[in-house]
Structure 1
Amino acid sequence: MKSQEIRQQFLDFFESKKHAIVPSAPMVLKNDPTLMFTNAGMVPFKEYFLGQKKATNARVADSQKCLRVSGKHNDLEEVGKDTYHHTMFEMLGNWSFGDYFKKEAISWAWEFLVDVLKIDKDCLYVSVFEGAKEDGLGFDQEAFDFWKELIDEDRIINGNKKDNFWEMGAQGPCGPCSEIHVDIRSAEEKAKISGKSLVNMDHPQVVEIWNLVFMEYNRKADGSLEKLPSKHVDTGMGFERLCMVMQNVQSNYDTDCFTPLIREVEAITENDYGKNEEVDIAIRVISDHVRAVAFAIADGQLPSNNGAGYVIRRILRRAIRYGFTFLNKKEPFIYKLVTTLSKQMGANFPEIKAQKQLVTNVIKEEENSFLRTLEQGLILLDGIIKNTKGTEVSGKKAFELFDTYGFPIDLTALILSEKNMTLNESDFNVELEKQKNRSRAAAVVETDDWVVLQEDTEEEFIGYDTLATKVKITRYRKVSSKKDGELYQLVFNMTPFYAEGGGQVGDKGYIEVDNGNVIYIVDTKKENNLIIHFAKSLPKNPTQTFNAVVDEKQRFRTNCNHTATHLLHQALREILGTHVEQKGSAVHSKNLRFDFSHFSKLTVDELRAVEDFVNARIESKIPLEEFRNIPMQTAQDKGAMALFGEKYGDTVRAIQFGNSVELCGGTHVENTSDIWHFKIVSESAIASGIRRIEAITGDATKDFYFENNRAFFEIKDLLKNPKNPQKAIADLQNENTALKKQIEGLLKDKAKNLKSELINEVEEINGVNFLAKKLDLDAGSLKDLAFEIGTQVENLFLIAGTENNGKAGLTCYISKNLVEEKSLNAGQIVRELGKLIQGGGGGQPNFATAGGKNPAGIEEALEKAKEYIS
């Protein structure tokens, strides 16, 4: 049975049990500060479990894209090495929000596996929670009784808290669970060892296939448990593992979830799968990782140097280095797999088909970039090896290569082993742990339990219509972090404060009591379905009524910038073409940022046309047309585009300014004329096929033009107020060019005169002709001089210092034979000596330069250079 049929049978089965079938939510999360990615099927439904929103459907089923590479659920380092862990995987799930509970969840799971899919029940084992004394929880007798009606008692296993009590995190909804395990070993293997003894022992053919979680508790900050108001069911079945069972193979990678990708990797790299374990692991890593990276990009998350983007970059780089090391691929190739992936999964996940070209471009660019990093790292590692006395390489040096240059430590270890050398792993791990501790300390957030003042009602946002209203605090809690210090999170029964979302910054303002005392709201964010107001302190009497007031000036400026992003989007599609799609935005009170898909840098004329287009709409005084709570199809019929990576409900809000129509939950001006003026301040590339425009509006543009006008008159004043400033500047530039040429000529003559003088100052030290000197030359002349002396003096080690405009410079030249014979490396030497001038540098083994801000350190650096040959 093919994977598509298996997925459809699951959805059809639960539809017959009166479950609403919903599409997969995006894999990248935007309104959950506790998670970067959807790491389990229940994540899109957290607000229902937390009681923050009432479910539209009490029964739901889906196939959810999940990613497990960070935090508590981190499978990254297992991926590829075994046959059943993955970064991205599909989780088939059925959910009950206060409706059915253990009996139905257990009986339907059994019915689907045994009666519908015809899995031999003698291959199945189930586990039930044995209890946990520390939590005051006993054996799950209820689940046991339901199971023993379906399966022999000797196939029911008592599971401990680690395996059979599921928790969302350190705090939050949780409950006992029943796991279903499948044993797909041969009859001979089963006869030797009972499958029961292999459950939860990481055996590749005795694996957990389905977890039925009975959510009935809430874990509080102090570790205690309290009963949830309603009981819920949260089940998750590994789709790839189910396909392994149904397709009668011994590995997830032998299913048709992966075989098309594996065949393509074999064809591209000319490596055969199944003949060499190292090659097999590499092919599995690449086939798995390309799925995770491609779907993350399609969901709107580009690789970057921080947050979720860094995780995606790390996954891709792991795949690249496996290809580089074990498949001997020194050029980009992973991007070519996107076509296969799109054909394979596009029918069920249309985002991968729609975003295919963007995903391909981004992966190719990332591959090129990291392969350059690997090439540079190999040169640096070669230098470290040459300068190592003995066979053990310093773990500290290896960590610097890993931390500063991104060179993988496993690749370092592999190269060293090939050269019969070892790595001081303990020193490396010490440095790594120091870095992790710094990161952990910065990221630690201590969160108290919610103090509930009144039963939750769904919090109403009224900030589209008013910026001030009377509110009551329904719940609050204290949070502490190294970054922000101590803050209080407040939830109101209604609020005029806009919570950060859709690229728009959260509102600031204050709440006021009757006596005039105020507590400032410094930010507003959304956590699942709660609007969280961050306050600097807690009111003495939090049960009273407050006057909540939004900062009107900041909101207005933010409105101007948000409306401008809509007009900018329209302008780009009109001027550049309809291939332009929004890929991200950031709307603040001071400025706006807009990311979009486009294949080339915008010309000056295109940028001017975009500005003119937006400003024409501002001058046209177009009024806002707002459509609240309309069906999604109605909004799309009006021309509104749905953005990939966004999660939309059954009803949406659409914003229209003339022909600009967008789905948007943000705040806007009443009329485009409120924006006053729009000005682009920069345009740049942020990834292959992705451009970024930064712009300003309103008061910021007034300040921009005022500063430019002031600077213009200051320049005119410096030029003695010429009638034609442009001509005066051009004359100065021409004169400057002519003078530079004269100076260059004089410096070259000076260098020639210096050459014979410097050759006479060369001294021999241990067979090396050494010269260290502080010189008054520019970088170009000094380089020419060094190479000229090098042609006349054999075995030369030259180090020169320069001072220019308060900056220090070092230049190092080493004859090529010394690089090989004495293991001297100019790049490494100037990097070390550069610390003495409070700077750094690098270059080739025979020529390198460094720059710094401490000229006083030049003499010490020149003196220390002798140590390399003494």
Structure 2
Amino acid sequence: MRTEREADAQDQTKRRDEIQSQEIRRKFLDFFEKRGHRVYPGSSLIPHNDPTVLLTTAGMQQFITYFTGEDSPPSPTAVSVQKCFRTPDIEDVGDQSHLTFFEMLGNFSFGDYFKKEAIAWAWEFLTQTLGIPEEKLWVTIFSGDEDAPEDLEAKRLWMDVGVPEHKIFGLPKSENWWGPPGESGPCGPCSEVYYDYGEEFSNGDPSEDPKFGPGGEAGDPRFLEIWNLVFNQYEQRRDGTLVPLAKTGIDTGMGLERVTAAVQNVMYVYDTDVYTPVFTKAKEFSGVGLGDSEGTDRSLRILADHARGMAFLVADGVRPGNQGREYVLRRIIRRATREAYVRLGISAAQVSSLAGVVVDRMGDFYTELVAARSDIERIVGEEAARFVEIYHSGTELLDREIAKLAEGKKLSGEVAFLLHDTYGFPVEVTRDVLEERGLALDEAGFQAAMEGQRERARSAVQGYDRAVAAFRGAEFTSRFVGYEREQIETRIVALEEAPDAPGEFYVALAENPFYATGGGQVADKGWIASMSRDGGQLVVLDAVPAGDYQVLRARLENGGGFAVGDDVLASVDRVRRQQIEANHTATHILHWALRTVLGKEVHQAGSYVGPDRLRFDYRYSGRVTEEELQQVQEQCLLKITENQPVRYFTTTIDEARNLGAMMLFGEKYGDLVRVVEVNGFSRELCAGTHVRASAEVGAFKILSNRKHGADLYRIEVLTGREALDYLTRAAEKAERLSEVLRVELDDVVGAVQGLQGEVRESRDSAREQALRKGMEDVGALVAGAESVDGVKVVAGRVVAGDVKGLRQVSDDVKNRVGGPAVVVLAADLGGKAVLIANLHESLSDRIRAGDLVRELSSTLGGGGGGGPTMAQAGGGDPSAIEQTLARVRGIVAGRVSSGADG
């Protein structure tokens, strides 16, 4: 008979098992709303006005300016559920714990409550609202160091709510400290809450540290960190010293997936209800379920995580591409498709359906998923299908590289990186192909290439961070006057040497005419001349936005030096600024023209506005024809030559909406906004600099309009002097070509097309002759088919113009032989031996085409691979073709007989 304690424990476990993740999310918001917190909707995965990060990675990200003091919060307390995406763990997703996409539950205080309330509410929510047994929870605090003392206040408060002292232990600053976000600013100790699965799962002594095992390895499986409470109580000054903050703050983060695992008492997040719908649908498609094997479990976990990530990224406006967050989306779609298509036999269309499952599961709370359902399924499906094509073409490229390898050599890491970075061919697939053929990858070379890419990205971010951090905490005023003035007498209000570049300085001016990078527009350059020191001059290289002011990066060109308080003459490079302004106004005209020609579906997705050119990214699901592009150019030229006035004014966001001003998707606007209007047809919110009348744009020439993603186009344009220079050079080349071809200038295109036709006809004729010769050999090949244990085997050398022709001949032979057949044909193509194995599908359980060509390629001297019914080897010596073909019958006999015996 059960004891009363056992009955209570069983009832409590049952109650906890019934709490689903959606309910936990709602309970969290309700809990803190009842305690006076304002409920904030989670922000977009595209960070607002923060070029230092690709994607939103934490719940506090949308509140960072409240903590730094740059903005005043509308409410002193807040609670939110924030969708997050972290890229460093992409390659680790597939194990039992790593994620890219997750939901972060957070409660925040901006100078209101502090540790006492944060700790008491955390304990109450976990133990009473969610019903987690108190004995299952452990706590960490900051252990103290030479800069800040041990957080004994937090320890006492945890003990006050009922945590035994032996379950509270200290961790160093590397583990239990947050901030500052730059070289200075708010920071403070952290306190973490852990869920205890029990002693039987322990790696070591939990009184020492539940975060690490006995050998220092991360992740004792006994404990799961579920909540981190950050106590912002210090300000770190630029010299590294800490002083108490006048207004303390609370920033907490609890991963929904992790706390769900604790509530449902399962060891791993993938065992929770969060991922069940994706696993169920994947099993429906593949017949494979979680727990069937270690390999398929890894594939299923990748699909479960990436399906969520891709759905939310698309819903927030990200589209597959080759840079930044666009590349992240492309990468996870392709990584998921690799596991689905290559490992599990799930089609590209079915990968799209997995993303649709996420919409069904989470659309009630995240309504943006429902609104974007068609885009999600279409874009994921198109990108997945594209990867399947890349997989096959990438395999061919890899085969050619393998064929070049000398015996005992590894595949170059640079080649693997090229496949990975340029062609989107995952390095895991490269490793698998190499392993199948008994080869290896130069891992050190691949990692070096990857690290080089990461370092380039880090350098760009660090340069921005250093500039923004240069004057953090300093007190001065600076006013941007660049809309009205390009030259002004002003003074230096802040000056610091740049630590990474001798002779360079970070400068802030009382009145600053230099536009800082933003809104797609590059920063101004120019000069700062001393009016107090003879001959002193700084060359302005860059301008970076830093809240209410701009940080100028400048190099000392001559003179004895500069100091705070110096009177200076600040001058923008007028020639450069004028070309930037022409390009920026041209982007607005171009946007209008695209919407006029293609329809109101067109929306801006990004831009680059520099002195050399403009680049404009836009979303459009249709196909843009050459005729439509010509219409766009004509419309732009029409509006430029009309010389319409360009005006700008500041108004409220509501009034701007009433005026129909265009706004960028995902952009966060304040109460007051700046509107730029090209008289009569274009009105957009924009903080950039512009010409005064449209004719100042000058010449306008579209260079290209290319697809850059599933429904993303990138158009590049030259204006002004750059366009005139381009058109002049193009005219000179056309004139020279007309001389060479001895035709009139108007007839140059027709003459070139005629020559192309002649070359094409010659090439087609040669290919047809080769194919005709190959087809003539079909009858003899069919007649010479041999029977091996009921399987007809054809092996022969044929004439073919290219690989496509060789495959066509092999199809014809297989079809004419009929029934279970193995057809292996070889040809000399441009001095290289190429071999095709074409098998009847009924033989796939006994012999596979890919295995067959890999074995034959050892004689041929090349490399190869492929699927169960069609495979290719190439790159070998044509003189070895006959010897290779002579082996076919014996290999087939061995495989067929052993398969039959099995």
> TM-score interval w.r.t. the shorter chain?
0.7 to 0.9
**Which residue does 2:32 correspond to in 1?**
14
Distance 1:486 1:435, change over 3 A: farther
Contact in 2 for aligned 1:176/1:213 (Cα 8 Å): yes
**Which residue does 1:654 correspond to in 2?**
675
From 591, 604, 624, the equivalent of 1:602 is 624
Distance 1:386 1:435, change over 3 A: closer
**Which residue does 2:656 correspond to in 1?**
635
Q: What does 1:803-818 align with in structure 2 at a 5 Å threshold?
A: 811-813=831-833
Q: Distance in 2 between matches of 1:343 and 1:571?
A: 38
Q: CA RMSD in A?
A: 4.6
Report how many aligned residue pairs link the two structures.
Answer: 772
Deviation at 1:176, TM superposition (A): 0.9
1:96 aligns with 2:109: yes
**Which residue does 1:765 correspond to in 2?**
none
1:86 aligns with 2:106: no
**Which residue does 2:416 correspond to in 1?**
402
1:161 aligns with 2:173: yes
Structure 1 gap ranges (5+): 750-778, 785-794, 801-810, 830-842, 850-861, 863-870
Single out whichever of 247-256 and 18-27 deviates more from structure 2.
Answer: 247-256
Q: Distance in 2 between matches of 1:826 and 1:526?
A: 60
**Which residue does 1:586 correspond to in 2?**
608
From 233, 236, 258, the equivalent of 2:253 is 236
Deviation at 1:685, TM superposition (A): 0.9
Deviation at 1:177, TM superposition (A): 0.7
**Which residue does 2:118 correspond to in 1?**
105
**Which residue does 2:553 correspond to in 1?**
534
Q: Distance in 1 between matches of 2:112 and 2:518?
A: 31
Deviation at 1:487, TM superposition (A): 4.1
Contact in 1 for aligned 2:470/2:506 (Cα 8 Å): no
Deviation at 1:286, TM superposition (A): 1.1
Deviation at 1:451, TM superposition (A): 6.0
Q: Distance in 1 between matches of 2:272 and 2:833?
A: 58
1:329 aligns with 2:346: yes
Q: Distance in 2 between matches of 1:231 and 1:343?
A: 41
Distance 1:659 1:269, change over 3 A: farther
From 666, 671, 695, the equivalent of 2:693 is 671
Q: What does 1:181-196 align with in structure 2 at a 5 Å threshold?
A: 181-183=194-196, 185=197
Instruction: Look up the equivalent residue of 1:556 and give its one-letter code.
Output: Q
Distance 1:739 1:397, change over 3 A: closer
1:682 aligns with 2:704: yes
Distance 1:200 1:650, change over 3 A: farther
**Superimposed CA distance per residue, residues 229-256 of structure 1 (whole angstroms, 9 cap, x where no aligned partner):** 6533221111222334445655433444
> Secondary structure of 1:284's partner?
helix
**Which residue does 2:537 correspond to in 1?**
518
Q: Distance in 2 between matches of 1:263 and 1:39?
A: 28
**Which residue does 1:805 correspond to in 2?**
none
Deviation at 1:424, TM superposition (A): 5.3
From 59, 62, 66, the equivalent of 1:44 is 62
Deviation at 1:702, TM superposition (A): 3.2
**Which residue does 2:83 correspond to in 1?**
65
Instruction: Look up the equivalent residue of 2:416 and give its one-letter code.
Output: F
Output the TM-score relative to the length of structure 2: 0.74
Structure 2 gap ranges (5+): 1-18, 213-218, 770-799, 806-824, 838-852, 865-870, 880-902
Single out whichever of 691-700 and 615-624 deviates more from structure 2.
Answer: 615-624
Q: What does 1:383-462 align with in structure 2 at a 5 Å threshold?
A: 394=409, 396-397=410-411, 399=413, 402-406=416-420, 407-411=425-429, 414=432, 421=438, 428-436=442-450, 438-439=452-453, 442=456, 443-444=458-459, 452=471, 455-457=474-476, 459-462=478-481
1:549 aligns with 2:571: yes
**Superimposed CA distance per residue, residues 557-590 of structure 1 (whole angstroms, 9 cap, x where no aligned partner):** 2222222222222222222122222222212222
Q: Distance in 2 between matches of 1:467 and 1:562?
A: 17
Q: Distance in 2 between matches of 1:739 and 1:408?
A: 37
Q: What does 1:728-807 align with in structure 2 at a 5 Å threshold?
A: 730=750, 734=754
> Secondary structure of 2:290's partner?
coil
Q: Distance in 2 between matches of 1:692 and 1:682?
A: 8
From 134, 139, 161, the equivalent of 1:121 is 134
**Superimposed CA distance per residue, residues 472-528 of structure 1 (whole angstroms, 9 cap, x where no aligned partner):** 4444445566xx887433334443222222222222222222145321112223356
> Secondary structure of 1:823's partner?
helix
Contact in 2 for aligned 1:46/1:528 (Cα 8 Å): no
> Secondary structure of 1:38's partner?
coil
Q: Distance in 2 between matches of 1:121 and 1:819?
A: 60
Distance 1:34 1:228, change over 3 A: farther
**Superimposed CA distance per residue, residues 47-99 of structure 1 (whole angstroms, 9 cap, x where no aligned partner):** 444444454544333222222223xxxx334433114x321111122223344
**Which residue does 1:823 correspond to in 2?**
858
> Secondary structure of 2:579's partner?
helix
Instruction: Look up the equivalent residue of 2:299 and give its one-letter code.
Output: A
Distance 1:709 1:148, change over 3 A: same
Q: Distance in 1 between matches of 2:326 and 2:707?
A: 16
**Which residue does 2:898 correspond to in 1?**
none
**Which residue does 2:746 correspond to in 1?**
726
Q: Distance in 2 between matches of 1:381 and 1:607?
A: 38
Q: Distance in 2 between matches of 1:335 and 1:781?
A: 35
> Secondary structure of 1:506's partner?
coil
1:703 aligns with 2:725: yes
Q: Distance in 1 between matches of 2:860 and 2:237?
A: 58
**Which residue does 2:224 correspond to in 1?**
207
Contact in 2 for aligned 1:59/1:99 (Cα 8 Å): yes
Deviation at 1:211, TM superposition (A): 0.8
Distance 1:118 1:507, change over 3 A: same
**Which residue does 1:276 correspond to in 2?**
293
Deviation at 1:630, TM superposition (A): 1.1
Single out whichever of 92-101 and 812-821 deviates more from structure 2.
Answer: 812-821
Contact in 1 for aligned 2:480/2:549 (Cα 8 Å): no
Contact in 1 for aligned 2:402/2:863 (Cα 8 Å): no
Distance 1:290 1:799, change over 3 A: closer
**Which residue does 1:759 correspond to in 2?**
none
Contact in 2 for aligned 1:324/1:330 (Cα 8 Å): yes
Single out whichever of 659-668 and 815-824 deviates more from structure 2.
Answer: 815-824
Q: Distance in 2 between matches of 1:273 and 1:354?
A: 31
Distance 1:602 1:326, change over 3 A: closer
Distance 1:520 1:44, change over 3 A: farther
Distance 1:337 1:181, change over 3 A: same
Q: Distance in 2 between matches of 1:389 and 1:746?
A: 34
Instruction: Look up the equivalent residue of 1:46 and give its one-letter code.
Output: I
Contact in 2 for aligned 1:365/1:687 (Cα 8 Å): no
Single out whichever of 678-687 and 472-481 deviates more from structure 2.
Answer: 472-481
Distance 1:675 1:105, change over 3 A: same
Deviation at 1:814, TM superposition (A): 6.2
Q: Distance in 1 between matches of 2:835 and 2:605?
A: 51
Q: Distance in 2 between matches of 1:37 and 1:7?
A: 22
Instruction: Look up the equivalent residue of 1:162 and give its one-letter code.
Output: S
Distance 1:312 1:719, change over 3 A: closer
Deviation at 1:212, TM superposition (A): 0.9
Q: Distance in 1 between matches of 2:362 and 2:762?
A: 66
**Superimposed CA distance per residue, residues 363-395 of structure 1 (whole angstroms, 9 cap, x where no aligned partner):** 3343234333433454566678889999xx74x
> Secondary structure of 1:80's partner?
coil
> Secondary structure of 2:226's partner?
strand
Distance 1:96 1:550, change over 3 A: farther
Deviation at 1:342, TM superposition (A): 2.8
Identity rate of aligned residues, in percent?
33
Q: Distance in 2 between matches of 1:617 and 1:708?
A: 24
1:569 aligns with 2:583: no
